[in-house]
Chains A and B, each alone.
Chain A
Amino acid sequence: MKLGHLPDVNGNGNARRREHHVPRLRLSLLTIVAVALFASLFARLYDLQVIAADDYQVRAEANRVRTVQIPAPRGRILDRNGKVIVDNRVAVVVAIDRSIHEGLEPEEQEDVVNRLAMELTGAGFPTSPDDIRARLEDDRFNRYAPVPIAVDVPEELKIYFEEHTAEYPSVVVERKAVRSYPYGSLAAHIVGYVGKINEAELEAVADEREKPYGLNDEIGKSGVEQTFERYLRGTPGIRRIEVDSQGDPVRVISETPPVPGDDLVLTIDLDVQALAEQKLRQGLEAARARPNRDGTVNNATTGSTVVIDPNNGQIIAMASYPSYDPSTFVDGIDAAEWAALNDPANHYPLNNWAIQGQWAPGSTYKLFVGHAALMAGVMEADTVFSDRGGYQIPGCSGAKCYRRNAGGAVYGNITLPRAITISSDAYFYHVGAQFWLQRDRFGGDEAMQNHLVTWGLGDRTGVALTSEAPGRVPTPAWKRDYCDRVNCNDGVWRTGDNVNMAIGQGDVLVTPLQLANGYATFANGGTRYVPQIALRTQAYQTGEVTAEFQPEVAGQVDLPPEVREPLYEGLVNVPVSGTASRAFAGFPLDRYPIAGKTGTAQVDGKSDTAVFAAFGPAPAPEYAVAVVMEESGFGGTAAAPVARALFEALSGTTPLPPAAPNAAPVGGEQPLVEAGASYD
């Protein structure tokens, strides 16, 4: 290769030019290098700005935009008639604007913090300067929003801080919507409470895009506040802030206002709910005051009353005792209050016993067992049984093998309706025994259970509330498993197990809601609904319906007229001439017939569980009611009067008093007793 020494390119023939040789090849080499370098720049430019632009636009946008969520008020919770059970009110929040605070001199910061702590403590919000400093340094608070120091301070304090801005340059007073409960603790278990979101909940809602959660946000913790969270929660407003490369805010780019959550309309009738809670409390108080025949005292610790519309499964009232005041949860419950609510001696006021309590149903179970007997052909409706006051379990020897009727009564020759009305245990012992002894003929080991579960017994009803207990319909397989687990010496299912079960004793457990729903199913002719708690949601201001919840059928109970008639006849006579006749004395049964059944379940070491389940008006049922009262004595004595009081109002016999706003907490003054009931 020979470079250079090239002839004159301009070819002017000029003598001086001929001396000057521009080496063309070498110049070309240089040109190629320059062109290649520029070409690679163009290529890279194209690569970045045309091919990769979208990715980098997202990156650049993320660089400069920070978002602050503006909390939205939750929707209200209303009863079916529009009464506001849970409302919002404005609370005053004292906060520190960190962007101003960090601009102050260190001594001035110190001073503001100290005086603020003093002022808040003086106003009844014990705060130490260290608390405030810890919050200011907590980087989990959004950098672009003020850090709340005290929530729900009195209006006077707000005015004070607003008038003394010069002394508190970094203190800002904000407003925030918090829950208010115009009726106090009324329906507390149904509505539930809200609280600050915890780590586990935050993780569970991490995918929520439409209404994203922040660390300081509130979330429904129980009741419909929890299960209808996605409707009740408002859509947070978004303030987009532009920041510079140091992260300092430059300006607000845009602001989307928060949208309040939807109002939730419940199936609950608040007036009925108030009456149910009141009558349940009074019934328990009366039971406590009434010693048993054997001289023992009824502790009457817990109880529940459920009212359902049998025609659609809507829950009209659901009372649970003891209760609590959900307003204690507004802006954080203190440790002492929380400990009291979880102290066994207080019988867990936070529990909704209507769905979390499981009790032996006693004789109220006989409706379902009677149905099983007729369906399986163990008994005919007109089969005459001779009740001699007791029943010897076939193939059993020992003292426990002869079972007496309650109170040792002798009823003589009876058929099924009468057996229900007067609650003959002997009749149903016989049914239970025959189911087992002739299991080959009636449908196997679980012949009776297979009929029972069609009523929804032993399984969660599916009501839209959390922590529902399933109850229990024991089977031979269950007993074997159970005994393996707890190491009992006898896991064999015997005739006695069937006998116990037939009168709602032994290992049978129901929740008050299951019991009410079972009677509602019978009342409407066999359609078992999922108990419904909410009717619809509607927009906060306009009331426009945003979601409508329909009754949902969970199953169908085979209830032919020849089976229903005798059972109905038995139930409808209970308040007339049966075990609840004293409780319903004077009630206009001719105008408003009631079909019901008492139950008295024996519990080892405690006084009886009083149970009553009924529906009325019996020919065209509008309400099904279940009352369960722990350690309260006879169902006919303790539970039936509670139901009667409700039916008086529901039938219009006595006026239904409107719910009184701001009632005192129901669970406040009940005595502290030893708990530890176990029905296992």
Chain B
Amino acid sequence: MARTWELERLPRRDRLAPARRERGRRRDEPLFHARPPAAWRHVDLVLLCSALAVSAIGAMMVLSSTRGTDPDSYDTSYLRKQLIFIAVGIVAMVLVTLVDYRRLRDFASVIYGATLLLLVLVISPLGSERRGSQAWFQLGSFQLQPAELAKVGVIVTLAAALARAEVPLRLRVVLGALAIVGVPTALILAQPDLGSALVFVAITMGVLLIAGARPRHIVVLTALGIVAVVGVLTSDVLEDYQRDRLTTFLDADGEDLQGEAYNSDQSKAAIASGGVSGKGYLEGTQTRLGFVPEQHTDFIFTAVGEELGFVGSSTVLGLLALICFRVLRTAQIAQDRLGTLICIGVLSMLVFQIFQNVGMTMGIMPITGIPLPFMSYGGSSVLASWLALGVVLNVHMRRFG
């Protein structure tokens, strides 16, 4: 880690960059950044490799949890799809890094508009409903979940809106930021998808904090947030079963092991029964026999816990923490405020989703349908994770201006 830190600070590299730039690159490439070769040399390899590693482990665990109950045969259809999703995500990441993030400011309104359009369409008859939540577009055999992509869209829009605001932020600016986040959040609550909506709350809080909102505004917003959560839980926005899912974790010793507590219990049993060293890859019985519901998507961490044990799951958690740390570093060393705020938005999203998702599998957080970034099975989630990573890498590699 320290070595990376040193490398980034080597002034010699900075001086070398213009020299390399001179050698045979087309300077008039229209869409590309002015100095692509130099920028590419500053890619955060640690961040990239951590994300690749987590994705790879995620794909392994997708196979583990979708292979079927027969110990001697393997259904690889989910694995193959997930590998395609990861490939698509990586391609999208590369495309995102090609465009200088500072030009994103120009596209912000387009991105925001597209985000809102998708969120409106999904709750129109064009969207599909599953488990009481109208959150998907059915595209052939694939599903697109616009709320996932909306996270990245909102992060970019919010960062762009606050990048040039005067510090400390005026109330008008804060209200504007709340409006930017509020509209998509309301659309997502209409699906309803409380989990994703909460991700937006986390993003907003994180970005406003670093963007320089006044402490009293932050305190008031926090209070409002608590009131809003309580309000949602006690109102009719959620169906009963959704509310049950959210509250069962508070009653871990509940008698009703057939209901939502059953999910939580089986999830904990899967992780804990892995012990220190795990039952071995593809050897997890809770995983193979399907005792954990939605294991390949929201509960993918239970497969890690059962089959790879404390050693494996703390490694995965460590890699996720490393990703967060690198995003935080990027926020610190970003060339401008836009870059910092984008990274903070992504960081807030990642930390919240990781804590909520992993906490849910271990029974310390309520069950909400939030995927684990990079790992959970699903095209939209994987794509959103890699898009967010692309934006951060973009900021990182252009930190020298």
16 new A-B contacts at CB < 8 Å, known A22-B340, A30-B209: A22-B331, A30-B210, A30-B328, A37-B351, A38-B321, A40-B355, A41-B355, A45-B313, A45-B314, A49-B271, A49-B313, A50-B310, A53-B275, A56-B269, A61-B285, A63-B266
Fill in one digit per residue for A19-31: 1 if any B CB lies within 8 Å of its CB, else 0.
1111100110111
CA distance A44 to B268 in the complex (A): 11
12 pairs of residues in contact across A and B, judged by CB atoms under 8 Å: A5-B167, A19-B336, A20-B337, A41-B317, A41-B362, A45-B314, A53-B275, A54-B275, A60-B306, A244-B290, A245-B266, A245-B289
Residues of A within 8 A of B (CB): 1, 3-5, 9-10, 14, 16-17, 19-23, 26-27, 29-31, 33-34, 37-38, 40-42, 44-46, 48-50, 52-57, 59-61, 63-64, 242-246, 250-251
Q: Are B272 and A244 in contact (CB under 8 A)?
A: no
Q: Are B335 and A17 in contact (CB under 8 A)?
A: yes
Does B69 sit at the interface, judged by CB under 8 A? yes
CA distance A63 to B363 in the complex (A): 19
Q: Could you say which residues of chain A place their CB within 8 Å of the CB of B336?
A: 16, 19-20
Q: Could you say which residues of chain A place their CB within 8 Å of the CB of B286?
A: 60, 63-64
Q: Which residue on B lies nearest to A51, using beta carbons?
A: B272
CA distance A617 to B71 in the complex (A): 74
Residues of B within 8 A of A (CB): 69-71, 167-168, 206, 209-210, 212, 215, 266, 268-276, 285-286, 289-291, 305-306, 309-310, 313-314, 317, 321, 324, 328, 331-337, 340, 344, 347-348, 351, 354-355, 358-359, 362-364, 401
Q: A23-B210, A57-B273 are in contact. Are A244 and B332 (CB under 8 A)?
A: no
Q: Which residue on B lies nearest to A46, using beta carbons?
A: B310
Q: A17-B335, A38-B355, A45-B317 are in contact. Are A56 and B210 (CB under 8 A)?
A: no
**Which of B168, B206, B317, B344 lies in contact with A4, CB distance below 8 A?**
B168
Q: Are A49 and B351 in contact (CB under 8 A)?
A: no
Q: Which residue on B lies nearest to A36, using beta carbons?
A: B355
Q: Are A20 and B285 in contact (CB under 8 A)?
A: no
Q: Are B285 and A21 in contact (CB under 8 A)?
A: no
Q: Are B167 and A4 in contact (CB under 8 A)?
A: yes
Q: Could you say which residues of chain B place their CB within 8 Å of the CB of A61?
A: 273, 285
What's the minimum C-beta distance from A128 to chain B, rounded to whole angstroms? 36
Q: Are B310 and A244 in contact (CB under 8 A)?
A: no
Q: Are B289 and A244 in contact (CB under 8 A)?
A: yes
Q: Are A53 and B272 in contact (CB under 8 A)?
A: yes
Q: Are A245 and B212 in contact (CB under 8 A)?
A: no
Q: A60-B285, A250-B69 are in contact. Are A38 and B274 (CB under 8 A)?
A: no
What's the minimum C-beta distance from A226 to chain B, rounded to whole angstroms? 41
**Which of A17, A40, A56, A245 lies in contact with B268, CB distance below 8 A?**
A56
CA distance A38 to B357 in the complex (A): 12
**Which of B212, B276, B289, B332 lies in contact with A64, CB distance below 8 A?**
B289
**Which of B210, B276, B351 lies in contact with A27, CB distance below 8 A?**
B210
Q: Which residue on B lies nearest to A59, using beta carbons?
A: B269
What's the minimum C-beta distance from B226 to chain A, rounded to whole angstroms? 16
CA distance A61 to B273 in the complex (A): 9
Q: A4-B168, A38-B321 are in contact. Are A250 and B289 (CB under 8 A)?
A: yes
Q: Are A30 and B272 in contact (CB under 8 A)?
A: no
CA distance A14 to B399 in the complex (A): 13
CA distance A40 to B354 in the complex (A): 12
What's the minimum C-beta distance from B371 to chain A, rounded to whole angstroms? 16
Q: Could you say which residues of chain B place their CB within 8 Å of the CB of A16?
A: 335-336, 401
Q: Are B344 and A30 in contact (CB under 8 A)?
A: yes
CA distance A376 to B154 in the complex (A): 114
Q: Are A56 and B273 in contact (CB under 8 A)?
A: yes
Q: A26-B210, A29-B209, A45-B317 are in contact. Are A244 and B69 (CB under 8 A)?
A: yes
Q: Are B274 and A34 in contact (CB under 8 A)?
A: no
Q: A49-B271, A49-B276, A49-B310 are in contact. Are A1 and B215 (CB under 8 A)?
A: yes
Q: Are B168 and A20 in contact (CB under 8 A)?
A: no
CA distance A20 to B163 in the complex (A): 10
CA distance A346 to B285 in the complex (A): 61
Q: Could you say which residues of chain B place their CB within 8 Å of the CB of A44?
A: 359, 362-364
Q: Are A49 and B332 in contact (CB under 8 A)?
A: no
What's the minimum C-beta distance from A52 to chain B, rounded to whole angstroms? 5
Q: A26-B209, A41-B317 are in contact. Are A10 and B344 (CB under 8 A)?
A: no
**Which of A10, A30, A251 lies in contact with B347, CB distance below 8 A?**
A30
What's the minimum C-beta distance from A62 to chain B, rounded to whole angstroms? 9
Q: A22-B340, A38-B321, A250-B69 are in contact. Are A48 and B271 (CB under 8 A)?
A: yes
What's the minimum C-beta distance from A66 to chain B, rounded to whole angstroms? 12
CA distance A1 to B216 in the complex (A): 11
Which of A5, A22, A40, A242 has its CB near the most chain B CB atoms (within 10 A)?
A22
Q: Are A31 and B272 in contact (CB under 8 A)?
A: no
Q: Could you say which residues of chain B place their CB within 8 Å of the CB of A52?
A: 272
**Which of B321, B332, B359, B364 lies in contact with A22, CB distance below 8 A?**
B332
CA distance A48 to B355 in the complex (A): 16
Q: Which residue on B lies nearest to A2, using beta carbons?
A: B215
Q: A49-B271, A53-B275, A59-B273 are in contact. Are A27 and B362 (CB under 8 A)?
A: no
Q: Could you say which residues of chain B place their CB within 8 Å of the CB of A60?
A: 269-270, 273, 285-286, 291, 306
**Which of A17, A30, A40, A49 lies in contact with B275, CB distance below 8 A?**
A49
CA distance A579 to B310 in the complex (A): 92
Q: Could you say which residues of chain A place their CB within 8 Å of the CB of B354?
A: 37-38, 41
Q: Which residue on B lies nearest to A4, using beta carbons?
A: B212
What's the minimum C-beta distance from A372 to chain B, rounded to whole angstroms? 70
Q: Could you say which residues of chain A place their CB within 8 Å of the CB of B333?
A: 10
Q: Could you say which residues of chain A place their CB within 8 Å of the CB of B266?
A: 63, 245
What's the minimum C-beta distance from A36 to chain B, rounded to whole angstroms? 9
Q: Are B269 and A42 in contact (CB under 8 A)?
A: no
**Which of B273, B332, B348 lies in contact with A53, CB distance below 8 A?**
B273
Q: Are A48 and B215 in contact (CB under 8 A)?
A: no
Q: A49-B305, A244-B69 are in contact. Are A20 and B335 (CB under 8 A)?
A: yes
Q: Which residue on A lies nearest to B339, using beta carbons?
A: A20
Q: Could you say which residues of chain A place their CB within 8 Å of the CB of B206?
A: 30
CA distance A130 to B290 in the complex (A): 36
Q: A1-B215, A23-B212 are in contact. Are A63 and B285 (CB under 8 A)?
A: yes
Which of A17, A26, A29 has its CB near the most chain B CB atoms (within 10 A)?
A26
Which of A20, A26, A29, A41 has its CB near the most chain B CB atoms (within 10 A)?
A41
CA distance A47 to B344 in the complex (A): 31
What's the minimum C-beta distance from A331 to chain B, rounded to whole angstroms? 37
Which of A21, A26, A60, A250 has its CB near the most chain B CB atoms (within 10 A)?
A60
CA distance A60 to B278 in the complex (A): 13
Q: A48-B272, A49-B309, A64-B291 are in contact. Are A38 and B317 (CB under 8 A)?
A: yes
CA distance A134 to B317 in the complex (A): 54
Q: Are A63 and B291 in contact (CB under 8 A)?
A: yes
Q: Could you say which residues of chain B place their CB within 8 Å of the CB of A3?
A: 212, 215
Q: Could you say which residues of chain A place their CB within 8 Å of the CB of B362?
A: 41, 44-45, 48
What's the minimum C-beta distance from B75 to chain A, rounded to whole angstroms? 14
Q: Are A42 and B317 in contact (CB under 8 A)?
A: yes
CA distance A349 to B295 in the complex (A): 65
Which of A27, A45, A57, A250 has its CB near the most chain B CB atoms (within 10 A)?
A45
Q: Are A242 and B289 in contact (CB under 8 A)?
A: yes
Q: Are B272 and A34 in contact (CB under 8 A)?
A: no
CA distance A52 to B272 in the complex (A): 7
